[in-house]
Copies of this chain bind each other. A is one copy, B any other.
């Protein structure tokens, strides 16, 4: 980690710079695959699955037999762990439900807002070396609580045409049974346009590499919503001498092992602690199976000493971290004054990995500074707010003249007339 002592504010921008997103080359690949999937449907899906996943699939749909089969290949201990995580995540997301509250803004004027599920959603679960069944939990549980009618899950097959049993087991546990062996750009394109076998959806969720990220941006152009823009995962820890150096080092490394482009920032309020953490990092990193990746990520990471809380919290808000761990004696300052963060972990016994898997909060969070304006995935991500209003005869008499006045000033005469007609009728009537 690079060490920086009380950096000048004018250097924050370059100091906290993130890696660049999508290149032109990626854009071209995405455009080509989107065009082909739109024009030739399943044929294009087969071609690209063969090309990128190394398997010629006859059918993309995971069968009921495959789902049954998966259950036998998940160890009981893992099933128990998944079930505890599922219960916690469900409890936390269920608590996000809001009730319809009818507001009488004037006598006879009733307004309310209701949440209704997005009818068709697509969940993307990346492939790669590890089976990300935790992402299945994080996306499928809120979709189920929201009541989304059609939930489509896409995840790439391995070169034998199979999906890891833990992913299939978790999906079915969360009520998702429409699962397609499709990865990368071709999966996002299929969810965007629909094909002979894959239904089109209204909104696409889930993480992915730069190609998937770019593909989701492309989907927006065709009127599809996405959960949020994305970049590499990142963590910022603020710590003073009440923090445990070994714990902080382990948290920094659990971020760093995600990928060489992961970013880790440590904001230290104690110089002695920073030295201790450096020692711990050197010790712990050598024991990691993914140490080559972690070392690359750590090389790009920063250890910043800041000598006062005001500057430190400003710097944290400037950076807007996806994950934000607070290990300071005066934690309240760093919690109450944070504006921009995806998810906040408080105290020495709250590692980021708790939230990544099982505490109950969602792990699909805004990266790349998008915490300034985007929420992480939550129950609302799977719903729309619809407003309703019902005005009585008395209500329109109270409100009507206000509408007439404003509509006339905006020169929208038909708007005014819609009220005038009703008021005229009521004037001839005893209420």
Residues of A within 8 A of B (CB): 77-78, 80-82, 84-85, 87-88, 91-92, 95-96, 98, 101, 103, 105-106, 109, 111, 113, 116-119, 129-134, 166, 202-203, 220, 223-225, 229, 246-247, 250-251, 253-254, 256-258, 284, 287-290, 294, 317, 335, 338-362, 366, 368-376, 378, 380, 384-393, 395-396, 399-403, 405-407, 409-419, 421-422
Contact = CB atoms under 8 A, between A and B. Distances in A.
A407 B103 contact: no
Nearest to A378: B385
Contact of A132 (B288, B410, B417): B410
Contact of A250 (B109, B134, B368, B421): B421
Number of copies: 2
| Max count, chain B CB within 10 A of own CB: residue among A92, A132, A203, A406 | A406
A418 B352 contact: yes
A143 to B, nearest CB: 13
Contacts of A410: 130-134
Given A288-B417, A349-B391, A353-B403, 5 more contacts: A131-B410, A134-B410, A166-B409, A346-B388, A360-B389
A145 to B, nearest CB: 13
B130 A418 contact: no
A250 B417 contact: yes
Nearest to A363: B387
A102 to B, nearest CB: 9
Given A133-B410, A390-B346, A409-B166, A357 B402 contact: yes
B375 A385 contact: yes
Contact of A374 (B81, B384, B417, B421): B384
